[in-house]
């Protein structure tokens, strides 16, 4: 697990080693891909239903992508959220150092631009 202050060097490991599905249910809430062109391994989050219109609650979260046996720390370069969910990405585990200001709707196939390969935790609402 990477627990780093912003001043620490980031342990970059942009090479996921397998597809990962997390969460309970069948409704796809978000998807990360290894590469900006959408190729490579995926990380998918599933829930029991669409996200609600409010962002005052968190519908799903993952505090440390490196804790999963897929090599997924700092590996996401492309993200989409689905079914009314919005996203908050963090550079470090446990939602430390958010990469965007507030909730973002990655419903447009947005590549992660300046935060390429720098996501270690995330929330969905």
Partner 1 sequence: MRRTGVGSAVAIVTALLLSGCLSTGGGRSEPAISVHTITSSSQIQLPLARFGTTPADQEAMFAAINIEQRDCARRFGVISTIPMTTDQLTEVQSDTVRRYGVINAGEVARYGYDLPPSADGSDSKSGPGAWNPTVREAEVLEGHDASGQPVQLRAADGTRLPAGGCGLEGTRVVWGGKQGPQNDILVGTLLGDAWAETMADSRAQAVAAKWSACMASHGYDFKHRWDAGNSVATKDQATKIAMAKLDLSCALKTNYTGVWYAVDSAYQQRLINAHEGELTAAMDQYHQMMARVHRILQGAQ
Beta bridge partners of 122: 62, 89
Residue from 32, 41, 72, 95 touching partner 1 (CB under 8 A): that is: 41
Residues in contact with partner 1, shown as a per-residue x/- string from 12 to 31 under the rule CB under 8 A: -----xxx-x--xxxxx--x
- Phi and psi at 25, nearest 5°, equal 120, -170
DSSP 8-state secondary structure symbol assigned to residue 1: -
CB of 90 to partner 1, least distance (A): 17
Structure tokens at 2: 């990477």
39 forms part of the interface with partner 1 (CB under 8 A): yes
Question: Between β-strands 96-98 and 60-62, what pairing exists: parallel, antiparallel or unpaired?
Answer: unpaired
Contacting positions for partner 1 (CB under 8 A): 17-19, 21, 24-28, 31, 33-42, 44, 47-59, 77-78, 80-86, 105, 107-114, 116
């Amino acid at each position: 697990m990477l627990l780093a202050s912003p001043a620490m060097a980031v342990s970059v490991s942009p090479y996921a080693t397998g597809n990962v599905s997390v969460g309970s249910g069948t409704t796809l809430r978000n998807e990360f891909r290894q590469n900006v062109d959408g190729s490579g391994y995926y990380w998918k989050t599933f829930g029991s239903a669409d996200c609600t219109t409010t962002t005052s609650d968190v519908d799903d979260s993952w505090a440390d992508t490196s804790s999963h046996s897929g090599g997924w720390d700092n590996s996401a370069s492309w993200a989409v959220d689905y079914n009314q969910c919005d996203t908050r990405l963090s550079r470090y585990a446990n939602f430390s150092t958010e990469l965007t200001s507030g909730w973002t709707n990655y419903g447009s196939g947005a590549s992660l631009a300046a935060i390429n390969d720098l996501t270690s935790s995330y929330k969905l609402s």
